[in-house]
Amino acid sequence: MSFPNNPTPGQQYYTSLGTGYQYDGTSWNIFSQAITGGQGATGIQGVTGPIGRTGIQGITGLIGNTGIQGITGPGVGIQGATGLQGQTGLQGQTGIQGVTGLGAPAGITGTGTNSIAIPLGGLHVGGGSDPGNDNLVVDGNIYTTDWTSWDSTVVGFTGSVTKTCQYKIVGKTMYIRASISGTSNATNFTFSVPAALVAPAGLDMYKSARGIDGGISLTTPCMLGISSSTVLAAYKDFGFGGWTASGSKRLDIDNYFDLA
């Protein structure tokens, strides 16, 4: 900043910004400073100028002339002749009526759905000999299902279990022949069967089987009982005895059960 040369005490000097300095005989010191005034209010917005005029729309082009329609040809076309109707096919011959079945022998009368009564006589199915009064003789097998294998679900063993299981259904009876063996890891022994079983009303039905427990053949029969409709429980004796939870365990069955 450039102060005057050779100032005298009390001499004042103002800068272009309005700051005042005074010389005290040794140095220049500020004794006054201009204050910046507050910002003036924003002026009123000027009036919006008028909208300019819309330009003139160009002239629409002329529509072209419609072309001249061609001349319609003379004469109406001739309709084709109707085709000839085919001949009616010949009616097939009436089929020959089948021979009427033979009536039931005297003495056999129906007594209910799918049943017959044979008073003072007999019935021989599959043969020609006289069965005698009140006798039924059948040549051949009577069964609903022939011997069939099934994969039983077995509980009470560890590792691989050897299973040979077969069943046959005759009416409402299921015959079972099976051999199940392996290494025991529990005192219980159950296995599944292929059809739902039921115990006759008011009876607890238990069946016998042969067994091996802890690698030793049992000298008394094992017992089979219905655990649930499709599961049989095996006990090592008829006292509901538990099996040894180690060693060889085996059950050989040849028995029958009532179906639900």
Q: Which residue has the higher pLDDT, 90 or 217?
A: 217
Over residues 201-211, the pLDDT tens digits come to: 656 679 999 99
Q: What is the pLDDT of residue 260?
A: 87
CA distance 128 to 136: 12
Parallel, antiparallel or unpaired: strands 12-14 and 207-213: unpaired
Beta strands in 4-65 (DSSP E): 12-14, 20-23, 28-32
More confident residue, 16 or 230: 230
The tens digit of pLDDT for each residue in 218-259 reads 999 999 999 999 999 999 999 999 999 999 999 999 999 999
Q: What is the CATH number of domain 147-258?
A: 2.60.90.40
Q: Pick the more confident residue, 20 or 241.
A: 241
pLDDT at 103: 46
Distance from CA of residue 125 to its chain's centroid?
49
The bridge status of strand 115-117 relative to strand 109-112 is: antiparallel
Name the residue ranges covered by the structural domains of the chain: 147-258
Reported as a single tens digit per residue, the pLDDT across 97-152 is: 655 544 444 444 444 444 455 555 667 676 667 777 767 777 766 777 789 999 99
Q: How does pLDDT run across 41-87, given as a tens digit for each residue?
A: 777 877 877 876 776 776 766 666 665 555 554 544 456 566 566 67
**Confidence at 15, pLDDT banded by 50, 70, 90:** confident
Summarised one tens digit per residue, pLDDT across range 169-203 is: 999 999 999 999 999 999 999 999 999 998 766 56
pTM of the predicted protein model: 0.49
